[in-house]
Amino acid sequence: MFRHYIEKILKSHVYDVAIETPLDAAPLLSRRLDNRILLKREDLQPVFSFKLRGAYNKIAGLERKARDRGVIAASAGNHAQGVALAAKKLEIEALIVMPATTPRIKIDAVRNQNRLAEIILHGNTYDEARIRAEELMTDRGMVFVHPYDDPDVIAGQGTIAMEIFRQYAKVKDNKKIHAIFVPVGGGGLIAGIAAYSKVLWPDVKIIGVEPDEAPCLYQALRIGERVILDKVGIFADGVAVRQVGQEPFLVAKECVDEVLLVNTDEICAAIKDIYDDTRSIAEPAGALAVAGIKKYIAREGLSSKTFIAIDSGANVNFDRLQHIAERAELGERREALLAVTIPERPGSFLKLCRAIGHRSVTEFNYRYAERLDARVFVGIELRDGDADKQILIRHLRESGYPVLDMTDNEMAKLHIRHMVGGRALGISPNDPPPSNTEKERLYRFQFPERPGALLGFLTRMKQGWNISVFHYRNHGAAYGRVLAGIRIPDNEAESFQTFLDEIKDDYPHWRETENQAYELFLR
C-alpha cells in the first residue's frame, strides 16, 4: 500500500496558489438518478483546472539551486497554465513547450498567467512537444515538470481527496460515500486521490473514467502492464494520452477499483448535466466523472447512494459549444437520428410528418432527387430514451416507411447531417459505370488544425486521383475532422493503400465506404 503518499499529501505546498474548492450538491441530477451526486469543483481554481496543485507542489519543493536553473514543461493547456502560475509565484524562470496545433485561447491563457514565461510552439502532438522539451531541458539545464508521472505532482493532486473527506464530514446526513469518480488521462489525479483514499477509507470505491477513444489506463489494467495506444481520440483533449504514467499505474493497480469508458455523446450529455445544476460549462475531460457515474448507476441499478464526481476543469473553447450542444441530447438518449425512405412524389413529405405526429422534430434534411425514392435525414426528440425510439421506428415501419437508425453512426453525426443534398454522377448503383472503372472510396480523416495541413495532405496524394466529396468541420479543438471521397481506378488500389499507410501518423483515418449513411445520402 502507498502509505508514504499520506505524509506527502498532508505536507503538500498547494494553497499558496490553489483554493479549497467546494463540494457542491447537484440537486437536479441527483433527483433524476435517485442518488446523491456531489461535484468537487476544481473548475473554480484560478486556472480553471486542478493542474496547478501538482505543478506548484513540485516546483515549490525544489531546492534553491534547482529553482535557479528554471523549470520547463510540455503541455497543450492546463498543466502549462499551472506551471506558468507556479513559476510566477515563486519568481523563477519558466519555459513552456506547446504543440503548434494548440488553440490560441490556451496559448493566451498561459501568457496571461505569466508574461515572463517563454513559450515555444513545436510539433503537432503532445508527444512531439515533450520530446522537444526534454531536448531543451538537457541543453539549458532546466528542471522538467512532468504533468502526471511524478510523486510530487501526484501528491499535489491528492490534496483533492484530503479536502473531500474533510468537507464531506460536515455534510448533513452524510451517508457513506459509495464511490469517487475521477477522470483519467496520464493518471496523476486518480493516483493521488486513490492513494490517500484507500489508506484512510478503504471501503470507498475509486473509479476512473476515460473516453472510449483514449482508454490507456483501462487497457493497462486489463493486460497487466502499460500499453501505448496506436491512436487516441481528441474530443476530450485534456485526457488524450497514449500511455498512462509509470508511477500512476503502480498506484492504480493497487488502489483503483475499476475504470469505465464513455463515448463522446455521453460526455456531452454530462457537460449539459453539470450546466443545468451549476450554470458552469465543464470541458469534456472535466465532465468525464459525471458521465461515468451515470453509466455506473444504470449498470448497477443503484439508488439512495452517494457519489462524488471530480469536475476537473472548465478550459473549453467557445467554438466547441455548438458541437457539444448537438451531441448532448444524443448522449442523454433524448434524440433519435433516423434515415427514412419516402416515395419521391408530391405529398410524401407531408405524409411522413403526419406519421411522426406531434413529436418534436429537431432537424429535417431533404433534397429532391430524380429517383423513385427519396431519403430524409430526420432528428426527433424522445420522451423515454431508447424505448421510445424503438416505438417510433416500429410505428414508422408499420406505416410503410423503411427506417435506419443513425443515432450511433459517428459519420452521420459528424458529417452527413450537414451534407444531405446530392450525389456524384457515375457512382450510384443506378448509374452506368465510369469508363475508367474508378471507384469512390470514402474516409474520415483527422487533420491537425494548423496552416498548411490541407496542402500537405493534397501534396502527398497522387495527382491523378480525384476528390469527389469533401466536408470539413472545425470543433474548436487541436484537430479538425474531414470526410473525403476519393475516386481511385481499380488498378491503383494498392498505390492508394500505400498512400494511406504513409500518412496514418499525421492524418489518422477511418474507412467509411461501407457506411449505411453513405449508401443512403451520398451515393
Whole-number mean pLDDT of the chain? 89
> What pLDDT was estimated at residue 53?
98
Average pLDDT over residues 387-406: 92
Tell me, yes or no, whether 130 and 213 share the same domain: no
Domain-located, residue 510: yes
Task: Give domain status of residue 419, yes or no.
Answer: no
DSSP structure class, residue 356: H
Does the residue 427 lie in any domain? no
The verdict on residue 304 lying in a domain is yes
Beta carbons within 8 Å of 198's beta carbon, 6+ residues apart: 1, 2, 204, 206, 254, 255
Position 397 scores a pLDDT of 94
Residue 196: which of 225, 241, 165, 227 has the closest Cα?
Answer: 165
Same domain, 168 and 26: yes
- Whether residues 131 and 183 share a domain: the answer is no
User: Which of 282, 306, 329 marks a domain boundary?
Assistant: 329
Same domain, 213 and 300: yes
Q: Is residue 497 part of a domain?
A: yes
Domain boundary among 127, 146, 165: 146
Residue 452 lies inside a defined structural domain of this protein: yes
Tens-digit pLDDT profile for residues 129-160: 899 999 999 999 999 999 999 999 999 999 99
Rank 267-281, 349-363, 374-388 by mean pLDDT and report only the highest: 267-281
Q: How far apart are CA 193 and CA 180, in angstroms?
A: 9
Using the predicted structure, report yes or no on whether residue 50 has a pLDDT greater than 80: yes
Which one from 49, 197, 312, 468 is the annotated catalytic residue?
Answer: 312
pLDDT greater than 70 at residue 421: no
Q: What is the DSSP string of 325-345?
A: HHHHHHHTT-EEEEEEEEESS
Residues 110 and 181 in one domain: no
51 is catalytic: yes
- Residues 87 and 187 grouped into a single domain: no
Does one domain contain both 209 and 317?
yes
Q: What is the pLDDT of residue 297?
A: 98
Assess whether 376 and 503 both reside in one domain.
no
325-345 confidence digits (pLDDT tens): 888 877 778 889 999 988 877
Give the structural domain span for 77: 53-146
User: What does DSSP assign to residue 359?
Assistant: S
Residue 423, in any domain of the structure: no
Q: Please tell me which residue in 8, 40, 51, 58 is annotated as part of the active site.
A: 51
**What is the pLDDT averaged over residues 20-28?**
98
- Residues 390-404 have a mean pLDDT of 93
18 & 167 share domain: yes
Q: Has 305 been annotated as catalytic? A: no
Question: How many whole angstroms separate alpha carbon 119 and alpha carbon 420?
Answer: 43
Can you give the CATH number for the domain in which 88 is found?
Answer: 3.40.50.1100
Asked which of 91, 114, 146 is the last residue of a domain, the reply is 146
Q: Is the domain of 303 the same as that of 447? A: no
Q: Are residues 129 and 190 both part of a single domain?
A: no
What is the domain count for the chain?
Answer: 4
Query: What is the pLDDT at residue 457?
Result: 75
Percent of the chain with pLDDT over 90: 58
Same domain for 176 and 299? Answer: yes
Mean of pLDDT values over 167-194 = 93
CA angle 47, 51, 54 (to 5 degrees): 130
Residue 185 Rama label (left phi>0; alpha psi -120 to 50; beta): alpha
Question: How far is residue 132's CA from residue 168's CA, in Å, rounded to a whole number?
Answer: 43
Answer yes or no: is 414 within a domain: no
Q: What is the CATH number of the domain that holds 404?
A: 3.30.70.260
